[in-house]
Structure 1
Amino acid sequence: MGEWAAGLDVADVPAPVLDRLSLVLLDAAGVTALGAGLDGMRAMRSSWNAPGGPAPLIGGGRCVSVDAAAWLNAMSLVCLELDEGNKYAKGHPAAHGFPAVLALASERDASGRDTAAALLAAYEVASRFGRASRLRPGAHPHGSWGVAGAAAGCARLLGLGPDAVAAAIDTGAGLPVAGHFASATGGNPVRDAWMGASNLSGLVAARMASAGIARNTGTAALSLGTLLGEFDASELTGGLGERWDIARGYFKRHASCSFTHPAADAVLELRHDLDPSRITGILVETHALGAGLAAPEWDNRLSAMFSTPFAVAAALLDGEVGPRARLDDPALRALARRVRLVEAGDLTARLPDERAARVTVELDDGSARTREVPNPVGDADHRPLAEQDVLALLKGWLPGREDLIDRAAAFSRDLPALDHVGERLRGLAGDETDDETKEPK
């Protein structure tokens, strides 16, 4: 794996893979800018009080030190549950390492060719570590297996050789967060900070390798395996350079955990002729991974985003599960209490290729309507989103900041051909005074 990452050159990467990288990068930049506008992230930037530096706070209006940008951009990227993910990795490979790679690329004013290679290395290594890791029940995937990807991407950008890259990867695998899923369902933003830790730890691992003090001792099998679950090392090099996991991910159109999306998509297909006042109950059948998101109550935005009853109710009432959902609307809360979530064995059996849901809406006349979907809309295997779709979503979520999204799109498309990326990346900081992206009251 170290040899592959160290030698990765975008000149040898198939054009469709580079197109997908461009789209994932656009999504990451746009969603980071959206998250940066939340009141909590504004307060976090103020509290951090990072000194000025070479790396942009995307959508945050200024440039700061590499470490601060890596951490804060990672938190902004994941805080609205809108970032790209991968069902085979069982999480979010891009968010684990893209902020670190981009911050480091800004500091080094790296070439677009090297930056693109580093981003691909970060994604592919993280995804394979996600495939290889089977975390203990209750563990959240943020900040654990993906640190190895952040380390790989940063090491590739530093131009390290195969042995050093391997040592960085193993060191990154020795810096996981042991986060509990209940922190997410309970609405604790420490869950967002786990991604900040992943990106900063990836930088640390690569710097240790650059300094010659990192060692490759099989730490991954101990940290991700013995301590946090099970680890199958045979997954790490499967299809390297042949199978590109970045092409098999999903983009989100709902601001909620991906496990809630199939149910939301199903009720959207049923919604056009339904009167919510006539609904007596909604049965949602899902797979084992999503069966725990059953809470019909929520205390804040984060706990709502990990509630299938919330996502279903929002989709039925608003026609979307957007970043500005009416969290305290009495009608939304009342409808959510009528949602029942259960595991269905036949849907669990279809994992990992499908993350299906079956929704049955029961009406006051005794009739019922059922819809089943195999994967969320936006998955590479089910109604995938193209660039125009991602752009439309981002511009709809960021009114008044279309210029920033256009700059992100142009940078993402141009990346492999750029001689230097620093100035273009810093242009993505935008203007923090735009009130349109503030968190709704």
Structure 2
Amino acid sequence: MPSLLRTLTSWAAGLDLADVPDRVVELAGSQILSQLAAIRAGLAHPLGGRLVRAYGPPRQADPRQAACVLAALGSWLNLDDTAYAGHLGNSTVAVPLAYAGPRELDGRRLLAAVIAANECAARITAAATLGPLRGQSALHTHLAGGVAGRLRCEDAPPDRWTDALSLAFSSPPWPVMHAFLGGDAKLFNAFTPVRMAMDSCDAAAAGLGGPEDVLEHPDGFLSRFATVPLPEVLTRGLGERWHTETLSFKVRPGGPGVDAAVDCAVRLHPQLPGDWLERLDRIDVDASVYTVHVGERSGRYAEGPGAALSSLLLAVPYCVATALLTGDLTVADFQEPAVRDPRRWELAARVRLRHDARLTRALFDSTAPFGEALREAGPRAVDWLGQLGGARLAELLDPAGTPAVDFADAVKRTPAHVTVGLTGGAVHRAEQDVPVGGNGPDTRARHGELMRHKYLTHGGSPATADAWADLAKLSAPEVARLVAASLPRVPAPR
């Protein structure tokens, strides 16, 4: 019987765009445009210039190095999109973009590479989602995304996929969260695993390999990286259960846990009276355990103007305070002079983040970030939930929940309620169930429009955005020119 890895790679290596539903192809097209916007934003930030000085620009002769730079630039402002499971595009889009020109990919082959990489990376990440590492801290996502993205571009045979992934997962990276939240190390959360993926591809091409049961073996990857391993999701519903269909698109910087609360604050901003700061009594953010957990962990690092960017992006008080004051949350809010604005920090200090069990139940009932994994695990999930937020969390699970047959109706609920109370009794309140851009009916209906706006917001041209909408029709030379036009050759002026 073939290993799970061999089954997955044999399917992905042979994936043709004609086998993919149109709605999934369209989501992948929006994902590419979204990731390009994230890369442009990362390049324009001061830290982007430092990264480029160290490793070169996103457009360079060696596609392996270009892939690493693209991965890093797109990841660290949290403008990268998420799925069940993982922050995929930092490898699944970045690597195919780097190889599109050198491998002379037309639009259909580029889309097929992104989708194949998504499906491999999301499934492997989902198998370990009920563990200590999730989101951007799950660096192993990009081992899979990097290998699959490159080898699909190269039309490599399935055996090479299996060899490269078995090598990549022989030494998967594990981040030190103190460095991740307390300094600039977050710049490497995608760079390093993508580089490992490129090395693994080179090694496999030279004839090296590893055990093909490296994922599910009792002493393999899942035994170390998952509290509750879910090896069955690696191959469940291949060609029917499209993880690409679970994509949530980021419309603003900041960790996914802050999105719904920021949406609420943006809506409240125009409703508040001119003297609301003088009359302020309280700001309450009620949220699920997901948002509270991230907020508490980052809060130890995001305590004032000197906070590292990586912690600010996850800090609910800073993000909500900024959105209430300005009516938005932008990349400029995570650099000087904004990060030294005393009004933001004074207001952030008055934000109270509170757990609401009803919102956690809604979180668990959704597909992402880990509701589907909880249904896969069933009773086995209890221990992991205890580690996340205490034994009582298990009481919020629906005992009748079963895994989804497909993800056509997937949804990502990370709900939040924001209340601004003023002296004299006036109360202003907003609620958000699915964040703007989050996986669900609204995003399925207008993801193209949302991502076009995101791309234009970060300096892309309307003509280039329109060209990406026709990607499946483009020839290889047209794709090469479009990628070049979408990626600035040098950093923006400092």
Q: TM-score category by the smaller chain?
A: 0.7 to 0.9
Q: Give 1:360's match in structure 2, choosing from 392, 415, 419.
A: 419
Instruction: Give the AA of the match of 2:330.
Output: G
Instruction: State whether residues 99 and 199 of structure 1, in contact with CA within 8 Å, keep that contact through their aligned partners in structure 2.
Output: no
Whether 2:354 is the aligned partner of 1:297: answer no
| 1:295-346 deviation line (CA, Å, top 9, x unaligned) | 2624143321110001110110111111111211111111100011132222
Partner Cα separation in structure 2 for residue 47 and residue 215 of structure 1: 32
What whole-Å deviation, never above 9, does each CA across 1:132-165 have from its counterpart, x for those lacking one?
1136446653422331122122222222223332
User: Match for residue 398 of structure 2?
Assistant: none
- The answer on whether the counterparts of 1:96 and 1:143 sit within 8 Å (CA) in structure 2 is no
Distance 1:15 1:419, change over 3 A: same
Cα distance, 1:224–1:338 mapped onto 2, change above 3 Å: farther
- Are residues 1:397 and 2:405 paired? no
Structure 2 CA distance, aligned partners of 1:181 and 1:277?
38
How has the CA–CA distance of structure 1 residues 162 and 433 changed in structure 2, closer, same or farther, with 3 Å as cutoff? closer
**Matched-pair contact (CA < 8 Å) for 2:181–2:308:** no
Unpaired runs of at least 5, structure 1: 51-56
Q: Is residue 164 of structure 1 aligned with residue 160 of structure 2?
A: yes
Aligned to 1:322: 330
| Residue in structure 2 matching 1:413, options 467, 470, 475 | 470
Measured in 2, the distance between the counterparts of 1:257 and 1:369 equals 25
Q: For structure 2, list consecutive stretches of 5 or more residues without a partner in the other structure.
A: 1-7, 367-412
Change (3 A) 1:45 1:359: same
Residues 184 and 308 in structure 2, CA contact (< 8 A), matched pair in contact too:
no
Shift of 1:33: 1.4
Q: Does 1:280 align with 2:260?
A: no
On the 8 A contact 1:97/1:147 being kept in 2, the answer is no
Kindly tell me: are residues 64 and 281 of structure 1, through their superposed partners in 2, closer, same or farther at Cα, counting changes over 3 Å?
A: farther
State how far apart, in whole Å, the 1-side matches of 2:457 and 2:480 are: 28
**Alignment of 1:238 onto 2:236:** yes
1:144–1:224 CA contact under 8 A, matched in 2:
no
Does structure 1 conserve the Cα–Cα contact (< 8 Å) formed by 2:269 and 2:326? no
Per-residue deviation, 1:382: 5.8
Mapped contact 1:26–1:409 kept (Cα < 8 A)? no
Per-residue Cα deviation, 1:371-414 (whole angstroms, up to 9, x for no partner): 3321211112163243233222332333xxx43x6425514632
Of 177, 193, 196, 2:173 maps to: 177
Q: What's the TM-score, normalizing by structure 2?
A: 0.78
| Counterpart residue number, 1:427 | 485
Q: Deviations 1:241-271 (Å, cap 9, x if unpaired)?
A: 1122222211122211010011111222333
Aligned to 1:334: 346
Judged with a 3 Å threshold, the aligned counterparts in structure 2 of structure 1 residues 310 and 382 are, in CA distance, closer, same or farther, namely farther
Asked whether the equivalents of residues 95 and 195 of structure 1 are also in contact (C-alpha less than 8 Å), the reply is yes
Detail structure 1 runs of 4+ shifted over 6 Å in the superposition.
Answer: none
Amino acid at match of 1:347: L
DSSP-derived class of the 1:285 partner: strand
Who is 1:268 aligned against? Answer: 266
Aligned 8 A contact 2:151 2:201 in 1: yes
The share of aligned pairs that are identical, in percent, is 25
Paired AA for residue 313 in structure 1 = A
Question: How far apart are 1:180 and its partner, in Å?
Answer: 3.7
- 8 A Cα contact 1:250 1:378, kept in partner: yes
Letter aligned with residue 192 of structure 2: A
Q: 5 Å matches for 1:108-119? A: 108-119=103-114
Residue 435 of structure 2 is matched in structure 1 by 376
SS at 1:177 equivalent? coil
1:115-126 aligned within 5 A: 115-126=110-121
- Could you report, residue by residue, the CA deviation over 1:211-265 in whole angstroms, capped at 9, with x for unpaired residues? 3312343222455422233321101112221122222211122211010011111
Specify the code of the residue in structure 2 equivalent to 1:38: H
C-alpha contact 2:33 2:455 (8 A) present in aligned 1 = no
SS at match of 1:371: strand
What is the alpha-carbon distance in structure 2 between the residues aligned to residue 272 and residue 382 of structure 1? Answer: 26
User: Equivalent residue for 1:387?
Assistant: 448
> Amino acid of the residue matched to residue 392 of structure 1?
H
Answer yes or no: is the 8 Å Cα contact 1:376–1:382 preserved in 2: no
Q: CA deviation at 1:430?
A: 2.8
Alpha-carbon distance in 2 for matches of 1:265, 1:159: 42
Q: Quick check: 1:347 aligned with 2:359?
A: yes
Does residue 248 in structure 1 map to residue 307 in structure 2? Answer: no
Kindly provide the amino acid, as one letter, of the partner of residue 391 in structure 1: R
Q: Aligned pairs, how many? A: 419
Q: Using the TM superposition, give the Cα deviation of residue 3 of structure 1 relative to its aligned residue in structure 2, in angstroms.
A: 1.4
1:185 and 1:318 map into 2 onto residues whose CA distance is 25
The CA distance in 1 between the partners of 2:325 and 2:442, in whole Å, is 23
Structure 1 residues 291 and 183: alpha-carbon distance in aligned structure 2, compared to 1, 3 A threshold: farther
Supply the AA of the counterpart residue of 2:210.
R
Structure 2: distance between partners of 1:217 and 1:388: 42
Bigger drift between 289-298 and 14-23 goes to 289-298
* Aligned match for 1:218, one of 213, 217, 221: 213
**CA distance change for structure 1 residues 111 and 395 in 2, over 3 Å: closer, same or farther?**
closer
Contact 2:70–2:90 (Cα < 8 Å) also in 1: no
2:150 is the alignment partner of 1:154: yes
1: CA distance, partners of 2:9 / 2:491: 43
Letter in 2 for 1:63: Q
Quick check: 2:91–2:149 contact (8 Å CA) kept in 1?
A: no
CA contact (8 A) 2:144 2:165 kept: yes
SS at match of 2:363: coil
1:8-38 residue CA offsets vs partner (Å, 9 max, x unmatched): 0012222221111111101111220121122
